[in-house]
Amino acid sequence: MSGGGGGAQQAAHSLAFRVMRLCRPTLHVDTSPLKFDPCDLLFGEDLFDDPIAASHLPRLLSSSQSNGSAVDLSDLSYRSRFLLHHSADALGLPGLLVLPQSFGAIYLGETFCSYISINNSSNFEVRDVVIKAEIQTERQRILLLDTSKSPVESIRAGGRYDFIVEHDVKELGAHTLVCTALYSDGDSERKYLPQFFKFIVSNPLSVRTKVRNVKDTTFLEACVENHTKSNLYMDQVEFEPSPQWSGTVLKADDHPSENNLLTGENLKEPVLIRSGGGIYNYLYQLKLSSPDSAQLKVEGSNILGKLQITWRTNLGEPGRLQTQHILGNPITRKEIELQAVEIPPVIILEKPFLVSLNLINQSERVLGPFEVWLSESDSLDEKAVMVNGLQTMTLGEVQASNSLKFQLNLIAIKHGIQKISGITVFDTIEKKTYDSLFELEIYVDSG
């Protein structure tokens, strides 16, 4: 456990708070000069070149070590403190652990758990102790403990009262743990003791995202980077899509071993992201959940969803973060859409037929009048469907979020499966052309 400082104490107070956190101990490293083996002074490196001399080496070593141990027991001047008595001594690790003296790093998404002890350092008993503990941030105050309704009856001289507080850290920046005690001392005088413990909350990781669109599929890449000084074991990096999207995570093909097959997915090994800048990439495939989702009236942005991230540190302490909304590429909403409403079930070669169309205004203003024609970009030899009659049709205005139905008189000049494409709509007021709004496949019978 490591303690946190709390400012200057007033000498008149009998009580004092001490705040401690569970921290991972470190190995103590002996910084004394490098030790050496006494045998290195007695025997040279060429000893092993002589087979006869090498055969006597075990006896010489045992003799030297027994003599050295005898000298060590009676050597009060510590002249043998530089001697290497065991091979493990060369590591400089005496087997002792060092407890951290600082309050330790605290990261966003973790649970701040603190062991608080209030000590009575006076020679008399204090009574009716009301204890409060709260966290103060730049935005709010969170009460963690309040014994106003059931005060601590007494704390004897030299005794203490211990309790544990927990708080889910959801804000970055400066935090203050405020501990207060209201008590009666030996003279029955009511006293108030406040103590403040300040700490900084840092961001444990960062998430960088990239969005790519391939036809009707959207790919989201999330790069998670570890900013802490310890390894993070990612239990889950799950993407929660918004209602109009569905998503699946893409992984490389795994070749599970027999052990993994026996244990199953419940014991799946977490992803390790190493300390000090380690990264790991996740890839998700997103698709619109329904065709109507493509007509969302959203301009400038497209909310894909959020990432839910959970992890554990070296000591198994959990952490959890949720990213902000991840935005996809801006949706380019069509002002005009052309839909086929009715097509004859049988189309005879070189006989006119009517196609009923619906011109939809998806903007919030009046558009038109319009002119509609069939593009003549293709050569006559390649063209399968032509306009029968006037090549250009004039239409009126279309109100905002409204539609206009009309018919095109066409004639097919080739039999088989053909395509009606290249229908062009021209706004005569705004001088704007909407080309190739749709492509329609028909079957032409030779009759």
Q: What are the tens digits of pLDDT across the range 219-237?
A: 999 999 999 988 999 998 9
Q: In terms of domains, do 225 and 182 share one? A: no
Assigned token pair, 257: 């071993």
Please answer whether residues 280 and 252 qualify as being in contact, where contact means their C-beta atoms are separated by less than 8 angstroms: no
Residues whose CB is less than 8 angstroms from the CB of residue 232 and which lie 6 or more positions away in sequence, other chains included: 204, 205, 226, 272, 273, 275, 278, 311, 312, 313, 319
Q: In terms of domains, do 340 and 440 share one? A: yes
**CB-neighbour burial class of residue 389 (10 A; exposed 0-12, middle 13-18, buried 19+):** exposed
Q: In terms of domains, do 131 and 223 share one? A: no
Between strands 271-273 and 232-241, the pairing is antiparallel
Please answer whether residues 400 and 361 qualify as being in contact, where contact means their C-beta atoms are separated by less than 8 angstroms: yes
Whole-Å CA distances, 394 to 85, 365, 408, 440: 104, 20, 11, 22
Q: Which domain holds residue 65?
A: 39-91
Q: What local confidence, expressed as pLDDT, does residue 196 receive?
A: 93
On whether residue 310 sits in a domain, the answer given is yes
Q: What local confidence, expressed as pLDDT, does residue 432 receive?
A: 87
On whether residue 24 sits in a domain, the answer given is no
Please answer whether residues 436 and 375 qualify as being in contact, where contact means their C-beta atoms are separated by less than 8 angstroms: yes
Distance CA 324, CA 2 (A): 34
Looking at per-residue pLDDT, the higher value among 434 and 182 belongs to: 182
Backbone angles phi, psi at 85, to 5 degrees: -85, -20
Computed from CA positions of residues 271, 275, 281, 284, in that sequence, does the dihedral angle turn out positive or negative?
positive
Q: Is the predicted pLDDT of residue 384 greater than 80, yes or no?
A: yes
Q: In terms of domains, do 429 and 386 share one? A: yes
On whether residue 11 sits in a domain, the answer given is no
Distance CA 186, CA 126 (A): 6
**CB-neighbour burial class of residue 291 (10 A; exposed 0-12, middle 13-18, buried 19+):** exposed
Residue finishing a domain among 91, 115, 133: 91
| pLDDT (tens digit per residue) in 67-123 | 444 444 455 555 566 666 666 666 666 677 777 667 778 899 998 888 899 999 888
In the chain, how many domains are there?
4
Q: What local confidence, expressed as pLDDT, does residue 3 receive?
A: 45
Instruction: Please tell me which of 21-35, 232-246, 283-297, 377-391 the model is most confident about, judged by mean pLDDT.
Output: 232-246
In this prediction, residues 206-230 reach a mean pLDDT of: 89
Q: Is the predicted pLDDT of residue 259 greater than 50, yes or no?
A: no
Locus of tokens 């380690």: 278
Q: In terms of domains, do 107 and 79 share one? A: no
On whether residue 34 sits in a domain, the answer given is no
Q: What is the CATH number of the domain that holds 279?
A: 2.60.40.1230
Assigned token pair, 426: 């021209």
Distance CA 127, CA 116 (A): 19
| pLDDT (tens digit per residue) in 34-68 | 666 666 655 555 655 667 666 666 665 555 555 44
Band the pLDDT of 203: cuts 50, 70, 90.
very high
On whether residue 18 sits in a domain, the answer given is no
Band the pLDDT of 253: cuts 50, 70, 90.
low
Q: What local confidence, expressed as pLDDT, does residue 227 receive?
A: 92
**Partner residues linked to 191 by β-bridges:** 183
On whether residue 25 sits in a domain, the answer given is no
Q: What local confidence, expressed as pLDDT, does residue 298 receive?
A: 47
Q: What local confidence, expressed as pLDDT, does residue 201 receive?
A: 92
Query: What size, in residues, is the chain?
Result: 447
Residue finishing a domain among 171, 202, 233: 202
Q: In terms of domains, do 82 and 105 share one? A: no
Q: In terms of domains, do 281 and 369 share one? A: no
**CB-neighbour burial class of residue 282 (10 A; exposed 0-12, middle 13-18, buried 19+):** buried
Distance CA 423, CA 245 (A): 31
Q: In terms of domains, do 70 and 151 share one? A: no
Taking the model in full, what pTM does it have?
0.59
Q: In terms of domains, do 232 and 299 share one? A: yes
Q: What local confidence, expressed as pLDDT, does residue 165 receive?
A: 92
On whether residue 29 sits in a domain, the answer given is no
Please answer whether residues 334 and 295 qualify as being in contact, where contact means their C-beta atoms are separated by less than 8 angstroms: no
Residue finishing a domain among 299, 327, 355: 327
Instruction: Please tell me which of 113-117, 250-254, 433-437 the model is most confident about, judged by mean pLDDT.
Output: 113-117
Q: What is the CATH number of the domain that holds 196?
A: 2.60.40.10
Q: What local confidence, expressed as pLDDT, does residue 145 receive?
A: 93
Q: In terms of domains, do 111 and 192 share one? A: yes
On whether residue 207 sits in a domain, the answer given is no
Q: In terms of domains, do 361 and 435 share one? A: yes
Q: In terms of domains, do 228 and 145 share one? A: no
Q: Is the predicted pLDDT of residue 447 greater than 80, yes or no?
A: no
